[in-house]
Chain A
Amino acid sequence: MNTILQTTVPGMHSSRSHIILDRLGSVIAVLISIALFAAPFATYRANRIVAGEGRMLTEALPTAGALGVTAVILCVALCAVLARAPVIRLAAAAAGLGAVFPALGWSAGFLTPAGNTFARVSPALGFWLLTLALALLAADALTRLRLGPLARLAALAVAAGAIAGLLLSGAWNDLSLLKEYANRADSFWREARQHLWLALGSMAAACLVGLPLGILAHRFRALRAAVLQVLSIVQTVPSIALFGILIAPLGYLAAHVPLAAALGIRGIGAAPAFIALFLYSLLPVVGNTVTGLSQVPPAVTDAARGMGLSRRQRLLEVELPLALPVILAGVRIVLVQNLGLATVAALIGGGGFGTFVFQGIGQTAIDLVLLGAVPTVALSFAAAVILDAMIDLAKGPSHDRD
């Protein structure tokens, strides 16, 4: 009992009267100062190809605007250093982001000479540092708030809504990133659909196959060892290598089996990517199903048996519901992993957001890279938050977070 008391009791510091500087807040304040006073806020390029020149915040915005943004950000830094209440810190972070993001769009409009369609404005180090510092502050505040699953979903929805509002309002339209998008609006949404189809479709297939396989593997010991071993070897093979290995047999199939070709199976393209993602997804699904089922307390299954539940009833009414959080944790791993790996599919002609990433790498166009990378990261992040919330909900109110 007393070991608990040994560690410092939270809140003890705040009861002291003199001012205590928050250490994380100090780090954030330092980051903010560097970003504001020592790093360019935006990069200006006369056209898409030439090297860019950095513009400090004071040069990137009209004087009044620059002063206003600086003042807001400095207030945020002050909050980070002095305020300890997570709600205040979160509000400060939100206010800061609410100033920096529109400011970036504004600076793009300000820096681009009127009527010039070649000039490009991109975010520079200062903007990224500010975003990082503010995101750190927000993440720390959210961590300390220990929000419940529904509150976290709401926070995600608010953040997504704010970003959607920003994009729809046109405030960022002068930014190079959005110009790249405007040039490719059609293909952007096509690749988005392809990306989601690759990631979610292969995940769904893996669940359809993996759940029954996991249940069987739980029942039969010999099967379990073999299945898990094979799947973990598959998991070890790097994605591009697995794509490569699958291209040969699929190409053969396409060349020699007319039906396969008619179904759209080809050596190069989405088919090997889909199959590879499916194979990668199996291990987390099967593995977590087995783990989840084996963690059901024997006393519970025993009681269910004693009450005369059939094998099927036990599985559906007792074992699977109890194993659900662990199975969902497997689905979370799969989803985040697939959303990321699907970018690599573009390398073998499988489409998806990776198309922009690799095109961008080829043309050294960072904004094109971002056009592929940012949605991918946003999707993975949202998927992680949503699945984490679902896992907590599945655990029920009796379980504390953590």
Chain B
Amino acid sequence: MIEIEHLTKRYGAAAIVDDVSFRVEEGTVAAVVGTSGAGKSTLLRMINRLVEPSAGRVLIDGQDTMAIPEDALRHRIGYVIQGYGLFPHRTVAENIATVPRLLGWDRRQIAARVEELLDLFGLDPAEFAKKFPHQLSGGEQQRVGVARALAARPALLLMDEPFGALDPVIRHKAQDELLSIQRRLGTTVVLVTHDMNEAFHLADRIAVMNQGRLLQYAAPAELLTRPAEAFVEQLVGSAERPFRLLSLMRVQEAVEPGTAEGEPLSVADTLHDALSRLIWLGREVLPVADASGAPVGRISVSRILAHGRARA
């Protein structure tokens, strides 16, 4: 668990981060969003002390980060940046092994961990271990960057625009992959992004920042339905609101008893995807099946629309 308490960074008279407090629960993903210059990256960099706070503190599992030597602190925290910062003079395997080597793991342990991570990210060790970063595609570089950050099994992963350099198709895949790995490992993630879709897609809670201040820290749905300030409303996009809301909800929540013709939707699909299918096929209702394929009911356009309405 990360507790950020009254964190402030001033350069001269200007406060880049101004008295920000929030808490990220164990095993969840928090996204920090805002326009550029809002202080997102500085906030993130204060967590691993790449930037020293002017005031306030950060607690990781109750321990003040100031009480831990800088380097030791960073060994425990995964860090992924835009562009990844892979070391061009080191192979993929050596890149991933960076922190374990700093920690003095023995050689066999490191080799095993590298192989495990390459497998986890779907990179064949035989093919990729010996490659240099410049021989990789953008998507592969991104995966190596995340694998490197996770190498020493950190409980916390900090990510600064980790998908910013990817094209939309690969970006979406990389986000899904990150989400599934995060769920599997139970890593706590703090992610900085200016892409609202990314934040809604990945985050359990979203922190909205503007000019150094934290405007709202809430679950995605709450951000949509109860924006704290006009700026938040504008940032989440008022025109997109219903669709964003629908994409946060699963078919499970809107399923009704009954049957219908056609290929069934899954309970795990988002309402956004379900509505999309209904419109495209020109149907009012479609059947719904559970994960094993057994029919559990049906879903209708009107029920979906009701879920996308503003809640007073």
Contact = CB atoms under 8 A, between A and B. Distances in A.
A and B touch in the complex (CB under 8 A): yes
Contacts of B42: 2, 5
B267 interface: no
A219 B295 CA distance: 70
Interface in B14-56: 16, 36-37, 39, 41-42, 45, 50-51
Nearest to A9: B11
A9 B37 contact: no
A6 interface: yes
A9 B12 contact: yes
A6 B50 contact: yes
A2 B12 contact: no
A1 B37 CA distance: 7
A316 B124 CA distance: 54
Interface in A1-51: 1-3, 5-6, 9, 12, 15
Nearest to B51: A6
Interface residues of A, number: 8
Nearest to B81: A3
A12 B12 contact: yes
B199 to A, nearest CB: 18
Contacts of B36: 1
A5 B37 contact: no
Interface residues of B, number: 11
Nearest to B36: A1
User: Chain A's interface: helix, strand, loop or mixed, by majority?
Assistant: helix
Interface string A116-155: 0000000000000000000000000000000000000000
A6 B11 CA distance: 10
A1 B41 contact: yes
Contacts of B51: 2, 5-6
Nearest to A2: B41
A113 B290 CA distance: 113
Contacts of B50: 6
A248 B16 CA distance: 72
A2 B160 CA distance: 11
Contacts of A3: 41
Interface string A337-354: 000000000000000000
B32 to A, nearest CB: 12
Contact of A15 (B12, B41, B45): B12
Interface string A214-258: 000000000000000000000000000000000000000000000
B11 A2 contact: no
A15 B13 CA distance: 11
Contacts of A5: 11, 16, 42, 51
A3 B50 CA distance: 10
B94 to A, nearest CB: 25
Nearest to A6: B51
Contacts of A6: 45, 50-51
Contact of B16 (A2, A12, A15): A2
Nearest to A11: B12
Nearest to B38: A1
Nearest to B37: A1
The 6 closest A-B pairs by CB, nearest first: A2-B41, A2-B42, A1-B36, A9-B11, A5-B11, A1-B37
12 contacts: A1-B36, A1-B37, A1-B41, A2-B16, A2-B41, A2-B42, A2-B51, A5-B42, A6-B50, A6-B51, A9-B11, A9-B12
Given A1-B41, A2-B41, 14 more contacts: A1-B36, A1-B37, A2-B16, A2-B39, A2-B42, A2-B45, A2-B51, A5-B11, A5-B16, A5-B42, A6-B45, A6-B51, A9-B11, A9-B12
